Structures are given as structure tokens and as C-alpha cells.
Amino acid sequence: MLNAPSSEDEIIPLDALPDGSIVDVVSMKGAYVGTGLLSRHSRIRVRLVTRNANDDFGPGFWRRKAQWAWDYRKTVMGNDATACRVIFAEADEFPGLVVDRFNDVLVTQTLSAGMERLKPVVFPALLDVFKDDGVAIRGIYERNDVSTRALEGLEQTTGWWHADATDAGDAASKNGPTVTDITENGVKYHVDFANGQKTGFFLDQKYNRLAVARLARGRRVLDCCTHTGSFALNAAHAGAEFVRAVDVSETAIDMARENARLNGPDVAGRMDFTVANIFDLLPELERTHNPERFDFIILDPPAFTKSRKTIGSAARGYREINYRAMRILPRGGYLATCSCSHFMDHDRFKAMLFEAAKDAGVRLRQIEERQQAPDHPIVWGIPETDYLKCLLFQVV
């Protein structure tokens, strides 16, 4: 059952409860702490969804929480809510659930046993919230091809979700193609939410891309780890003289090139695309003394560490690419550098940059220190929600 017991007679021994059950958590002295979702296979045994002992957990509870999440996004994102994160897991008290909106599609990742069990309640609630707000959503696409689901005893799956679909083909015929278009900061993108990384597009850097765009006009820009071209496109759209977009993935570069075409010849005509590993490319540019005269380098690599055990090697990786970028840039050039790893915290990341600058023989003049967009809210007391670092510098 999805409701917590209403009396002691209804209490079921913990060993008999199935994964995803809603359970109360009490202190050693018996004081109520909160109510959450049980995960037998996980090291995190219970994930709280409320600290209010008077809550019940019928459909209305989840509908209200979905409404609060959407109301928050409309407030903090305004017109940008057409492409935003609608639910950010624990930050919205939907532990283990991520929901991104790409125009007319919701793309989800369900990463906890409790949320997996609650999909028949939570997903219709989400659709109702948008319908009542006059927003047409053609479907929910699940991107549960995530290895961490195994930690919850869950299989990896992808495809359209539909409450009354009899099979995957039925759901697909109802919901249509797995590519949609969005516009962010005036830049147009094709989003392949069935095959792209994570949910298909990285929304958290939305306003960091605007900050980069403000510096890019008239500059020669190198965008490392471009993925589908978002930082590079913002720079070109803002009037950069030339932008080279680099990624190790040929598929990502193909999508970035297509996104450039989507934005017309004025943008695409000032861009070039390279499939390369930046750990090879940056040393080569340093060795050849920056023949393309880049004066703005953007570093937005994937997370180099996803655990505390590998922080040391991750720090060396971050130091290497930042050191090389500082050596390549001319005096007065600009550097935007990012880390999306929660474990590479702000202090550690800035200490690494300080050491890289010292070894490169340059000084850094900080322009801005930024974090993720507010549709990925940082909740104090939940350190995992504070994960994205983005610093902009002039090299002096």
C-alpha cells in the first residue's frame, strides 16, 4: 500500500515491506522525523518526502507537490519555462525523480524504487498540472537507461510512458517522434531526447551560456566538450568572430553542426566543428602557439568524478585542461571553466584553478562565479543539489 499506517495495528514488520513502501522514520526516542520511500537495495534506505506527520499520501498529495514544483519554475524562469527542469529530485521532495520539459514533451529519469512504484500516481498528476495551466504536453518519455537504477534493484528501460498503452508500439504511435525543438537564449536546438545524453539536453547551464555570450562578441572562441554545441552557439549568436566547437563524440558534433544550420548562415558561417579529445588538442595548441589565435576558451567537461574515491584523479584532470587553456590564451584573453561534479566542491575547484594559474605563470581576474540555473534549485541541507561551478576569468 502507498499510505503510511494509520494505527499501530496496521504496522507491518520492516522485513515484510516491499520496495517503494511509504514508511515513517522515528528517532531512537520515538520522535517523528519524517515519512519517506523505502529502498531495500540502496545504501540510502529511506528517502523523505515530507516532515509533516499530518500528511496523507493519496493522489492529491502528489498533485499538490507537482503543482508547487511547476509554480516555482514559472516564477523563477518566466518565459524560459518552455525548456526547463520541472522536478529536481530531492530538491522538490520527489526523491529519485528528474523531469525535464522540452517544449511539448516531458522527459523523465526514475532513479529510486519508491518513485518507480509511484509513477501511476505521479505521472498523471504532472500531466494534469500542465493541462490545467493550458500547456499542451504530447507525452512523457522515460530515459531510465541509467546504471544507478541497479542500486535500487531496477532494470534499465526507455520509451514512451502511457497509462493505458498495451505495449511500447502503442505508446509510440500515440506520442510521436522522439525529437523536438526548443529555443533558449534566442538560440534554436533540435533535442533528441531518446538518444542524447541524460534527458537529451543540459538545461542547467542556460544562464551561464548567456554570461559567456556577453563576452564573446568579436572574439575567437574555442568551446571544449561542446556536446550539442550550446556554449559555442551562444557565442556565435552573440557575434563572435569565429567559434570552433570540439567534442570527442562524433555523434555530438553532428548534432552541434545541425543545430548551427538551424540557426541560419549568420551563425553557422562563423563556426567550425572538430572531433577531438581535448587532452590531446589543448597540448597541441600550446605546442604550436595557438595558430588560430583563440582569445576565449570555454571548458565544460563531463563530470571527472562521481564518487569521493576518485576526487584526486579528477582534480588532476581539471588541472590539466585549465593549465593548458591558461598557457594557450594571450594576455587579456578570457576563460570560462566549469565542473558539474558535486564531489569536486567549490573550494576544491577554486584551489585547483589557483594552482593551475600559478604553474601556468598567469594571474586570473575573476569576472563572475556562477552556478546552475534556478530551475535546478540548491536546497540548503542537501549538499548534492549544489553541484555546478562556472567561473569566468580574464587572464592577466
Would you state the pLDDT for residue 14? 67
Would you state the pLDDT for residue 44? 85
Torsion of CA 340, 341, 345, 349, to 10 degrees: -70
Asked whether residue 349 carries a pLDDT value surpassing 70, the answer given is yes
Mean pLDDT of 316-326: 96
Asked whether residue 168 carries a pLDDT value surpassing 60, the answer given is no
Tell me the DSSP string of 255-282: HHHHHHHHT-HHHHTTEEEEE--HHHHH
Asked whether residue 171 carries a pLDDT value surpassing 90, the answer given is no
Cα–Cα distance for residue pair 305/247, rounded to 1 Å: 19
Mean pLDDT of 52-69: 95
* Cβ–Cβ < 8 Å for 314, 287: no
91-129: pLDDT as tens digits: 999 999 999 999 999 999 999 999 999 999 999 999 999
What 3-state class would DSSP assign to 303?
coil
Mean pLDDT of 328-349: 94
CATH for the stretch 204-395: 3.40.50.150
* Cβ–Cβ < 8 Å for 317, 304: yes
Give span(s): CATH 3.30.750.80, the chain.
59-177
Give span(s): CATH 3.40.50.150, the chain.
204-395
- Mean per-residue pLDDT over the chain, rounded: 93
Asked whether residue 9 carries a pLDDT value surpassing 70, the answer given is no
Band of the pLDDT at 133, cuts 50, 70, 90?
A: very high
217-266: pLDDT as tens digits: 999 999 999 999 999 999 999 999 999 999 999 999 999 999 999 999 99
Residues labelled as active-site residues: 340
Would you state the pLDDT for residue 258? 97
Torsion of CA 256, 104, 70, 208, to 10 degrees: 10
Would you state the pLDDT for residue 343? 86
Would you state the pLDDT for residue 10? 62
Asked whether residue 134 carries a pLDDT value surpassing 80, the answer given is yes
Per residue, the 3-state secondary structure of 168-231, as one string, reads HHHHHHHHCCCEEEEEECCEEEEEECCCCCCCCCCCCCHHHHHHHHHHHCCCEEEEECCCCCHH
Mean pLDDT of 66-84: 98
Asked whether residue 163 carries a pLDDT value surpassing 80, the answer given is no
Would you state the pLDDT for residue 314? 86
Considering only 34-38, 264-268, 341-345, which range has the smallest mean pLDDT?
341-345
Band of the pLDDT at 167, cuts 50, 70, 90?
A: low
Asked whether residue 66 carries a pLDDT value surpassing 60, the answer given is yes
CATH for the stretch 59-177: 3.30.750.80
Facing residues of 336 across strands? 298, 392
Cα–Cα distance for residue pair 219/236, rounded to 1 Å: 9
Would you state the pLDDT for residue 1? 35
